[in-house]
A and B are shown apart, each in its own frame.
Chain A
């Protein structure tokens, strides 16, 4: 199967935890085990008065990018349920063109 990567424009991630819970329900993970985990950076107020407050989901080694779902033509569950629609799993060959088309900064690419 074509190699895939997870793209997250975390500048829009609102920290809703839908990715975490979707993944744990699918993989039957117990509490405190994570296939993807939302990390919080901030809130902090810089001396220039601007705020920075980001949520950054990070997939763990348990993440297989929902290969089974992709194989049957479905989206990975974290991508389907993400309230802010910040997660996309795309072929690695398309990553750079995806990044080109995104006008915001704060994008992370993972090969979990």
Chain B
């Protein structure tokens, strides 16, 4: 059938970018060199250069940094360079893509499908290489057997943070046809609590700071204003590129005069350049943000016009904020009262100002309350949807993926069976996921029904995502009869719990689409162009389509091929992938003050897409879900206020999970150049505490609390306050044995800080978990676990 494609040039929100006109990097680097305006593929010095704008793997968030992949006549990747033709990154690349060759041709990469007898889970030597046909036949037979006996709801699809154009919800809704698509982190303590605040209060997805990424003139565009102030709240954007926000845009803006306020329990590079660093006790963000509202309201520093015309419940919010004067917040947070007041004034008086709000908000029960406060702050200061403020998408943009083909794939009966849908509708209904903790409970108790099959869609949950990881391992192995992994490398999770391993294509080996900020307020849309074939890996889109056709052909016959599926899922059925991919990257223009022009609401009326048409400072949605309609502060579940009786034994506040340049979560440990930057799992401890405890820099310590323990290497540093320690997350040791010798596969439980974090400590609506606000003790140990970099080089440095 001949398809009717639209021309993307006709879409006013999609624009190509002409790099010769401007330069966003700095005044001094306007470039007349390099490969500006080259086509998507060209020849150079006997090599073929393919331009591509990918996401993952190797892991990252959806920035879509553009790359030039140089391949030789045999199709082998010779080198990688940054592509100057990307409006945001302009050639800049981090170490994770600079070492792409070491990733693709790593000797430990899995290049062919494998199977293992489920009785031999954990036996690293029991894998047997098989063909794709055999793998699909085996999966089909197990799928049919298990779904016949236990229903399709007995399957859980474990998701990660996404690696193609999104989190690949169709793996659950259309390939496996299970309602239990599950991000296995307790309380979905990543992104979604913030999304809940923005969706329910603002009627829009995730307001990102405006760094001019979608404007043709970038920072110098006449429509743009450089933010006078950026507040970095619980976020470390430089190494993490969170949710597709190219973190070093903050540096670009600092060069252009932006001042910073940093709210973080740790000092970091940005905080040392900030006008104010609010070094709060971990988990007390809601108290601080309520105090900011208090100051801004009582000193009448808010935007009275915006408050009057575009917000709902301001008086009630102000009344609530009276319960949190800065003096009280100072006692709770440990930030001096005058610093709270002065920084609140600085934020409110800056025009425009933007808040970059981070993961730390999500990683506490009731972290959504901080999100509520920050949305309120963005609104009452008049910074929403203005140049240099908080950027939001229009009504055509959003997280459409979760809903893609959902009802058609599942049907109402199955949807109603989603684990947690009844108990936590605000969570499950928002992201169309089963509730993580209740899914764990279902595996352990068969309540509400048995779980028998699993699929890992980019989730190394035992090393990275899950609290109490050994408990998750036992639950999976105790309940699931058949588990499939789909990844580039053998992970501890796959080694310990899986029966089939399917090889995954890297970014150089795949096609697809990536939208910044998960598509909700994109600044660019990137297209992946395949340059390399290595082994038999499939992309996420390919596996979803190919295996979907085998398991549930009635849902897949409507797509002609994989590109047709890409066009449906990622391009709204409008554009021809073959054509649009040649653009490599397009800017997305969203415009400003869309609440005045009707572009935020489906009915075309002015206002926000909420029931009142206003930003709901007093929330009807939260009220309806049974929570307080106004934001509130509650103490972290463990700490000096909540559990004073435990503090003698566990005197430190423990926070975890700060990002590094070397790794994306649990990835890159087998890339020697990355590993060398951070060979060992680090625990940061203040020099005074270290002295008291007899801990010297570089020695090994045990972190322990009432839930578990792990060993880490001490980094004695003043960046954490006395009484607070920070531990890195997501460690495993690919150089170690995959067979469990007591520390889990590849020793992943040895240095796993999540051993100390419990499940089932979420908030009233089901959101949040205390990954960043636990308690522990730290004691020196005599053993050393120092990584031998020669061994890493020996095992992983010789590329195949």
**A contact residues vs B (CB 8 Å cutoff):** 12, 14-18, 21-22, 24-26, 30-32, 42-45, 51-53, 55, 73-75, 77, 79-85, 88, 98, 101-102
Q: Report whether B672 and A80 are in contact in the complex, using a CB–CB cutoff of 8 Å.
A: no
Partner of A16, one of B26, B28, B238, B272: B238
Least distance between A22 CB and chain B CB atoms (Å) = 6
- Residues A12 and B254 in contact, CB atoms below 8 Å apart: yes
CA distance A102 to B152 in the complex (A): 63
Chain B nearest CB, measured from A66 CB (Å): 12
How many B residues, CB 8 Å from partner? 46
Interface pair A53/B34, CB less than 8 Å apart: no
Give B758 Cβ to nearest chain A Cβ, in Å.
32
Q: How far, in angstroms, from A26 to B80 measured CA to CA in the complex?
A: 10
User: Is B29 engaged at the interface, CB distance under 8 Å to the other chain?
Assistant: yes
Q: Which residues of B contact A18 (CB under 8 A)?
A: 92-95, 98
Establish whether residues A17 and B29, one from each chain, have CB atoms under 8 Å apart when the complex forms.
no
Inter-chain contacts of A42 with B (CB < 8 A)? 272
Neighbour of A84 across the interface among B28, B248, B719, B797, CB < 8 A: B248
The complex places the Cα of A26 from the Cα of B79 at a distance, in Å, of 8
**Which residue of chain B lies nearest to A15 when distances are taken between CB atoms in the complex?**
B269
| Residue of B with least CB distance to A26 | B79
Q: Are B27 and A101 in contact (CB under 8 A)?
A: yes
CB-nearest residue of chain A to B99: A21
B95: contacting residue among A12, A17, A73, CB under 8 A: A17
User: Residues of A contacting B676 with CB < 8 Å?
Assistant: 31-32
Contact of B417 with A by CB under 8 A: no
Counting CB contacts under 8 A, is B604 at the interface? no
For residue A7, which residue of chain B has the nearest CB?
Answer: B28
B31 interface residue (CB < 8 Å to A): yes
- B272-A52 in contact (CB<8A): yes
A44 to B717, CA, bound (A): 9
Query: Is B672 a contact of A31 with CB atoms below 8 Å?
Result: yes
Q: Which of B27, B93, B718, B719 has the most CB of A within 10 A?
A: B93
Please indicate the chain A residues that have their CB under 8 angstroms from the CB of B416 in the complex: none
From residue A6, how far is it (CB to closest CB) to chain B in Å? 13
Kindly name the residue among B79, B98, B251, B673 whose own CB sees the greatest number of chain A CB atoms within 10 A.
B98
CA distance A44 to B687 in the complex (A): 12
Q: Knowing A14-B238, A24-B673, A53-B272 touch, does A74 contact B26 (C-beta < 8 A)?
A: no
Besides the contacts A14-B269, A21-B99, A31-B797, what 5 more A-B pairs have beta carbons closer than 8 Å? A25-B99, A30-B797, A32-B789, A44-B718, A83-B248
Residue pair A53, B269 in contact (C-beta under 8 Å): yes
CB contacts under 8 Å to A, within B293-329, are none
17 contacts between A and B (CB under 8 A): A14-B238, A16-B94, A16-B661, A17-B661, A18-B92, A18-B93, A18-B94, A18-B98, A21-B99, A22-B98, A43-B719, A45-B718, A51-B267, A51-B277, A53-B269, A83-B94, A85-B29
In the assembled complex, B793 has its CB within 8 A of some CB on chain A: yes
B239 contacts chain A at the CB level, 8 A cutoff? yes
Which of chain B's residues have a CB closer than 8 A to the CB of A74?
Answer: 33-34
Contact partners of B267 in chain A: CB under 8 A = 43, 45, 51, 53
Cβ of B90 to closest chain A Cβ, rounded Å? 8
> Which of B28, B239, B793 is the most central at the interface, judged by chain A CB atoms within 10 Å of its CB?
B28
State how many angstroms separate the Cβ of A110 from the closest Cβ of chain B: 17
**CB–CB A81/B789 < 8 A:** no
How far is the CB of A11 from the nearest CB of chain B, in Å? Answer: 8
List of B residues within 8 angstroms of A84 by Cβ:
248, 251
With A18-B95, A25-B101 given, is the CB distance from A31 to B793 under 8 Å? yes
User: Is A14 a contact of B248 with CB atoms below 8 Å?
Assistant: yes
Contacts of A75 in B (CB 8 A): 31, 33-34, 91
Q: Known contacts A18-B93, A51-B272, A53-B272; is A31 also within 8 Å of B673 by CB?
A: yes
Q: In the complex, what residues of A have CB within 8 A of residue B248's CB? A: 14, 16, 83-85
Q: Are A80 and B717 in contact (CB under 8 A)?
A: no
* B164 CB → nearest A CB, Å: 24
Q: Report how many A-B pairs have Cβ atoms within 8 Å.
A: 111
- Taking the closest CB of chain A, its distance from the CB of B197, in whole angstroms, is 29
Q: How far is the CA of A79 from the CA of B81 in the complex (A)?
A: 12
Partner of B29, one of A24, A45, A55, A88: A88
Chain B 61-89 residues near chain A, CB threshold 8 A? 79-82, 84
Q: How many angstroms from the CA of A24 to the CA of B674 in the assembled complex?
A: 12
Q: Are A51 and B271 closer than 8 Å at their CB atoms?
A: yes
Q: Which of B25-44 contact A (CB under 8 A)?
A: 25-29, 31, 33-34
B33 touches A73 (CB 8 A): yes
Cα–Cα distance between A44 and B677 once the two chains are bound (Å): 21
Query: From A38, which residue of chain B is reached at the shortest CB distance?
Result: B677
Assess whether B422 is interfacial by the CB under 8 Å rule. no
Report if B605 contacts A (CB, 8 A). Answer: no
Report if B255 contacts A (CB, 8 A): yes
Please tell me if the beta carbons of B269 and A21 are within 8 angstroms of each other in the complex.
no
Task: Indicate the member of A26, A45, A83 with the most B CB atoms within 10 Å.
Answer: A83
Q: Tell me, in angstroms, the Cα distance from A12 to B260 when the chains sit together.
A: 14
B79 touches A81 (CB 8 A): no
Q: Is A80 a contact of B661 with CB atoms below 8 Å?
A: no
| Residues on A with beta carbons closer than 8 Å to the beta carbon of B93 | 18, 22, 81, 83
Q: Does A85 lie within 8 Å of B25, measured CB to CB?
A: yes
A31–B676 Cα distance when bound, in Å, is: 8
Chain A nearest CB: distance from B716 CB in Å?
Answer: 12
Which of these, A15, A55, A85, contacts B26 with CB under 8 Å?
Answer: A85
Bound Cα distance from A26 to B271, whole angstroms: 34
Identify A14's interface contact among B26, B31, B251, B789, CB under 8 A: B251
The 4 A-B residue pairs with the shortest CB-CB distance, nearest first, are: A51-B272, A85-B25, A83-B248, A73-B33
> Considering the chains assembled together, what is the distance between the CA atoms of A16 and B98 in angstroms?
12
Contact A15 B661 (CB under 8 A): yes
Q: How far is the CA of A82 from the CA of B93 in the complex (A)?
A: 7
User: Could you say which residues of chain A place their CB within 8 Å of the CB of B98?
Assistant: 18, 21-22, 25, 81
Is the Cβ of B82 less than 8 Å from the Cβ of A12? Answer: no
Q: Which of B95, B251, B793 has the most CB of A within 10 A?
A: B95
Which A residues touch B269, using CB under 8 A?
Answer: 14-15, 53, 55
Across-interface contacts of A17 in B (CB, < 8 A): 95, 661-662, 677
What's the least CB distance linking B46 to chain A, in Å?
14
Interface-centre pick from A18, A26, A74, A79 (highest chain B CB count, 10 A): A18
Q: Which of A45, A53, A73, A83 makes the CB contact (< 8 A) with B92?
A: A83
